[in-house]
Amino acid sequence: MTRLYNEPSAFADEMIEGFVASHGRWVRRVSGGVARSTRSTPDSVALVIGGGSGHYPAFAGLVGQGLAHGAAMGNLFASPSAQQVYNVAKAAENGGGVLLGYGNYAGDVLHFTQAQDKLRAEGIDCRSIAVTDDISSAPLAERHKRRGIAGDLTVFKVAAAASEAGYSMDAAVEIAERANDRTRSFGVAFTGCTLPGADHPLFSVPEGRMAVGMGIHGEPGIAETNIPTADELAELLVKDLLAEIPEGLSAHGARVVPILNGLGSVKYEELFVLYRRVAQLLAEAGIQAVDPQVGELVTSFDMAGTSLTLFWLDSELEELWLAPADAPAFRRGAITAQALDAEQLTLAAEQQAVIPDASDESKTAAPTVLAALDAAKAVVDANVEELGRIDAIAGDGDHGIGMERGIHAAVAAAADAVERGAGAGTALNLAADAWADKAGGTSGALWGMALRAVGQSVGDTDAPNAVAVAAGVAEAKRSIMDFGKAKVGDKTLVDVLAPFSETLTTAVQGGASLREAWGAATTIAEQSAEATANLLPLMGRARPHAEKSLGTPDAGAVSMALIVRAIHNTLAGNTAGKISVKETA
């Protein structure tokens, strides 16, 4: 378990502060993460990597000469927000464009893509590479759905070395994609990991058993088996990885970088015992091991587990992999780096949002917006543990924590906006930005999109009315389904949002008041959330563990149903009593 922390909600920020204080030779603090504290080659491609905190040395430990130019660092196990990624990219950009690198998780894809769009809108050439090395997370025919685990390192190292060598953006992207295509990983775990402040792990493995096919976020494995000997585990890992050699290659005569990665509490000595047999098996298959890496490279807090990665080289990939690098957690060769000037090391202060003019009617309505958000905050706070429990059945168990971070930030932003005379639309827009920024993860991105869609529709000119609200909810549905690619039946919050929006719109068009229409739609939302228990997940981290979630509703669907009920109570003037998950699922 995690023993050393102050406030659990402050853990990630305090961790970054301490990391920068102890590694100032390599990194400086920027809003949203860290960037190099040393000079980079002008007009070169800047590699900006990132993901949730809790995986050190990934991602901040890989920032330095010969490796990444910056790392966007989200909350624990939650993707960084689009704003965090954008901020780090702006700090790291050298004039040659920005290549964003991250693991292929829904929240990371959403936020990094939003940041990419924003950078491109400013005329900055920005591309992305989503790492897909984990063979257990999807079949070969669906490699694009696989998640990124310890193979992040091979892709990031090669892309960064290409940048240092002066590759163009097109060439850097091609080599990163080639590295990704030639990287395969497979992991196992013996115990789950426990986040700061939690009194139990995100998942558990029965005594004497091993979870097979582990990710790095506390997701359950795809199978369980008795704990093998070290040699037996080596044989399992190598056998499964050699069953999927990249197309066009063969084992005999291949040059491969093996990476045996500890996930948090398997000790180095144990890893060496395990690698002893891995090395023998690779040699027996005719593979020449190049620059083996054994140690902690992508972790998951205190999870007891390990993963094996095989990176299949060609001559160009090998040259780039072996190129010098100097980062806090990964060093080879000799690099002479010049420190940035003092003024370039200064962390820019976050600017307070400007409050646009609004009509008196809109200003008068803004406190109702705040009250609705406050009701949502109360219901999330009351159900945060249960939402996490539901999510942990087939996911990583952090949905409740993420929703809590998001709604708290949204309420604080809306309260500040109302105090400064904002209209209803601006209060919602600023709440949306705060939710997405502080929550991170998939839910942060989607709820940020939802609140912003309603805020844009409501605006600051008139008092919010049923037609505008229904139109905003409909736009939220469209935006989320277009951007997240989820559809009804995939076992996501869309299974609630779509029927809620349709019912709301139909009722408003029939002449119902906002309170009446919202109430009718809320009833449908609650029924829809309960019905997700009968669905198999087709999106997100729960997808590889679909059968485990059968009989349990989707956590995102449940939290949406809870929130729309809380908002209805606010519209109806009924704020007494708590709403619990058991009433909706």
pLDDT of residue 391: 86
- Burial label, 168 (beta-carbon count in 10 A; 0-12, 13-18, 19+): middle
The label of the residue with tokens 């309603």 reads: 454
| CA neighbor of 570 nearest in space, from 376, 281, 353 | 376
Residue 132 DSSP symbol = -
Q: What is the mean pLDDT of residues 350-363?
A: 86
- Please say if the pLDDT value at position 72 is more than 80: yes
Per-residue b/e over 211-249, b at no fewer than 16 CB within 10 Å?
bbbbbbbbbbbbeeeeeeebeebbbbbbebbbeebeeee
pTM: 0.83
Is the preceding peptide bond at 330 cis, omega within 30 degrees of 0?
no
Percent of the chain with pLDDT over 70: 93
pLDDT band at 44 (very low <50, low <70, confident <90, very high): very high
Bigger pLDDT: 476 or 394? 476
The label of the residue with tokens 């679909």 reads: 546
pLDDT band at 351 (very low <50, low <70, confident <90, very high): low
Task: Choose, from 23, 69, 111, 217, the residue flagged as catalytic.
Answer: 217
| CA neighbor of 153 nearest in space, from 258, 233, 35, 288 | 258
Domains, in order of start, for the chain: 1-131 (3.40.50.10440), 181-324 (3.30.1180.20), 360-583 (1.25.40.340)
- Please say if the pLDDT value at position 574 is more than 80: no
- Please say if the pLDDT value at position 89 is more than 90: yes
- Please say if the pLDDT value at position 582 is more than 50: no
Please say whether the beta carbons of 231 and 277 come within 8 A. yes
- Please say if the pLDDT value at position 577 is more than 50: no
d(CA 325, CA 323): 7
pLDDT tens-place string over residues 103-139: 999 889 999 999 999 999 999 999 999 999 999 999 9
- Please say if the pLDDT value at position 583 is more than 70: no
pLDDT of residue 584: 41
- Please say if the pLDDT value at position 350 is more than 80: no
Residues composing the chain: 585
Please say whether the beta carbons of 266 and 336 come within 8 A. no
Q: Calculate helix-pair angle for 230-242, 268-284, nearest 10 degrees.
A: 50
Percent of the chain with pLDDT over 90: 76
Please say whether the beta carbons of 210 and 188 come within 8 A. yes
Which two tokens mark 88? 């780090």
pLDDT of residue 86: 96
Average pLDDT value for the chain: 91
How far is C-alpha 497 from the geometric centre of its chain's CA atoms?
A: 22
| Beta strands at 255-262 and 304-312: parallel, antiparallel or unpaired | antiparallel
pLDDT of residue 66: 96
d(CA 261, CA 216): 11
pLDDT tens-place string over residues 421-450: 999 999 999 999 999 888 878 888 899 999
pLDDT band at 277 (very low <50, low <70, confident <90, very high): very high
d(CA 258, CA 280): 12
pLDDT of residue 303: 92
Is the preceding peptide bond at 156 cis, omega within 30 degrees of 0?
no
Side-chain-facing half-sphere of 250: CA atoms under 13 Å: 3
- Please say if the pLDDT value at position 393 is more than 90: no
Residue 217 annotated in active site: yes
d(CA 83, CA 85): 5
| Beta strands at 27-30 and 33-36: parallel, antiparallel or unpaired | antiparallel
- Please say if the pLDDT value at position 575 is more than 90: no
Bigger pLDDT: 203 or 545? 203
pLDDT of residue 522: 97
Residue 348 DSSP symbol = P
pLDDT band at 547 (very low <50, low <70, confident <90, very high): low
Bigger pLDDT: 339 or 19? 19
